[in-house]
């Protein structure tokens, strides 16, 4: 298998992973029975508009109304459900306005109505309702601190739920006594409903936990109102039953990619859909597994592809970073560790089409990357240290640009090992 064939196969696997999470293909199978009365739709996330459009197509004869919010550039046409757009990953005034309108729609539901919540990754920032006395400006500062903190997504969501008037089950409380059904696309390790968009329709499992230890992790710039809420004695949340349906998950997407590999005669090795930790450290570890595959045939003989999902982190520190997201940082670390080893190709990308805040989903590399970088007079190790992976991959024409995919099942990583020579 030459380099062009290897990289084409990697792209086919990525496309299959994204396609397995397309709301147009999967949402209808998870709908409840059609209601006799109104169906009020609320929702938030990078896939919210696409999910709303899929719902309208599946239920053309149902009295649908409501509002969802998605990221700028992720809007698709709808006829009955209002779609608004807001900022991600840091909320803005439009995020707060959307949250207020969504809460109002849920509050308007009566006991005979069905409320459908369409939830996907990104919903936490897109639907911002600061808990009093927190202000939107405070919430923006907190979000920026979280993004730079190096905290796991689980710990970030502990903070987000504690500081919100809509997350941690509060949207579900607003919809009562109407029947509430949540259709969700998971973008979090473990598919925990409390973590997807910070769990607006399920009870907060950490409501009774002390979160004061997170104050120090967020640093001295943490707004006082946020500090007070996190330091306050915790109050356990009221329990309630939630009808929560996962329509797409990282594991489903990895299995779709694995089927593509098998059809090409390549053995897929699924390393897990919930890998976390520092992106650069995971790159080093993955390089070791790839080398073992090439040298010893473990965990599988070549040709084989190492597939994984999850959400890594990039700890920026105090310096000014370059450009790049967690997927390109992972891939650059992998490339540095592999040192151009023949027969190893890799792709890492965010399934929503946007790695961090950049215009690329991720990147794709082969054994020739170190030579190409050297010919341009660039330094892979310096780029990695400066968190400037995007710039290096842009210069080497290695970026993958898909535009918004209108779904999100988190990161997709594929390391393809083929016999060298």
pLDDT tens track for 228-247: 999 999 988 888 989 999 99
Least confident of 8-12, 181-185, 213-217, 314-318: 314-318
Q: With pLDDT > 70 as the criterion, what percentage of the chain qualifies?
A: 100
Same domain? For 186 and 304 the reply is no
Same domain? For 203 and 72 the reply is yes
Residue 147 predicted with pLDDT over 90: no
Residue 126: predicted pLDDT: 97
pLDDT tens track for 302-357: 999 999 999 898 888 777 788 989 999 999 999 999 999 999 999 999 999 999 87
Same domain? For 206 and 265 the reply is no
Q: What is the mean predicted confidence (pLDDT) over 153-159? A: 91
Planar angle of CA 195, 198, 201, nearest 5 degrees: 100
Same domain? For 309 and 185 the reply is no
Residue 57: predicted pLDDT: 97
Phi and psi torsions of 269, nearest 5°? -120, 110
Residue 320: predicted pLDDT: 77
Planar angle of CA 272, 278, 281, nearest 5 degrees: 85
Element (H, E) at 231: helix 224-231
**The domain boundary residue, chosen from 248, 279, 294:** 248
Same domain? For 49 and 119 the reply is yes
Same domain? For 28 and 146 the reply is yes
**The domain boundary residue, chosen from 248, 273, 308:** 248
Quote the mean pLDDT of the chain: 95
Which among 367, 352, 412 has a CA at the least distance from the CA of 89?
352
DSSP 8-state symbol, 63: -
List of residues 6+ apart from 89 with CB closer than 8 A? 122, 125, 143, 147, 357
Q: What is the mean predicted confidence (pLDDT) over 192-201? A: 95
Assign 3-class secondary structure to 265-281: CCEEEECCCCECCEHHH
Extract the tokens encoding 304: 């084989």
């Amino acid at each position: 298998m030459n380099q062009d064939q290897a990289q084409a196969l990697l792209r086919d696997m990525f496309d299959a992973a994204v396609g397995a999470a397309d709301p147009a293909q999967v949402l209808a199978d998870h709908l409840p029975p059609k209601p006799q009365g109104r169906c009020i739709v609320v929702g938030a996330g990078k896939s919210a508009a696409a999910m709303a459009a899929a719902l309208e197509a599946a239920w053309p004869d149902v009295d649908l109304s409501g509002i969802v919010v998605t990221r700028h550039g992720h809007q698709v046409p709808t006829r009955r459900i209002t779609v608004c757009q807001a900022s991600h990953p840091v909320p803005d005034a439009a995020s707060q306005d959307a949250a207020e309108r969504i809460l109002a729609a849920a509050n308007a539901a009566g006991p005979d109505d069905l409320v459908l919540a369409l939830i996907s990754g990104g919903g936490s920032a897109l639907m911002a309702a600061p808990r009093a006395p927190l202000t939107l400006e405070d919430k923006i500062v907190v979000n920026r601190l979280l993004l730079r903190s190096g905290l796991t997504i689980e710990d970030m969501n502990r903070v987000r739920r504690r500081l919100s008037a809509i997350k941690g089950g509060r949207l579900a409380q607003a919809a009562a006594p109407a029947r509430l059904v949540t259709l969700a696309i998971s973008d979090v390790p473990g598919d925990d409903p409390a973590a997807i968009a910070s769990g607006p329709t399920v009870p907060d499992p950490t409501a009774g936990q002390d979160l004061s230890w997170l104050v120090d992790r967020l640093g001295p710039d943490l707004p006082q109102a946020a500090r007070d809420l996190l330091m306050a004695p915790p109050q356990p949340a009221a329990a309630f039953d939630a009808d929560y349906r996962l329509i797409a998950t990282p594991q489903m997407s990895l299995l779709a990619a694995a089927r593509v590999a098998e059809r090409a005669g390549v053995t897929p090795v699924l390393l897990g859909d919930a890998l976390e930790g520092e992106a650069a450290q995971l790159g080093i570890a993955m390089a070791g597994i790839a080398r073992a595959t090439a040298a010893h045939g473990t965990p599988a003989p070549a040709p084989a592809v190492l597939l994984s999902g999850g959400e890594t982190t990039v700890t920026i520190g105090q310096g000014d970073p370059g450009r790049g997201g967690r997927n390109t940082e992972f891939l650059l670390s992998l490339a540095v560790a592999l040192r151009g080893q023949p027969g190893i190709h890799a792709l890492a990308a965010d399934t929503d089409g946007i790695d961090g805040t950049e215009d690329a989903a991720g990147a794709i590399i082969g054994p020739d990357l170190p030579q190409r970088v050297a010919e341009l007079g660039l330094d892979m190790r310096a780029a990695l240290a400066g968190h400037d992976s995007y710039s290096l991959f842009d210069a080497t024409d290695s970026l993958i640009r898909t535009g918004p995919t209108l779904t999100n099942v988190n990161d997709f990583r594929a390391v393809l090992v083929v016999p060298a020579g």
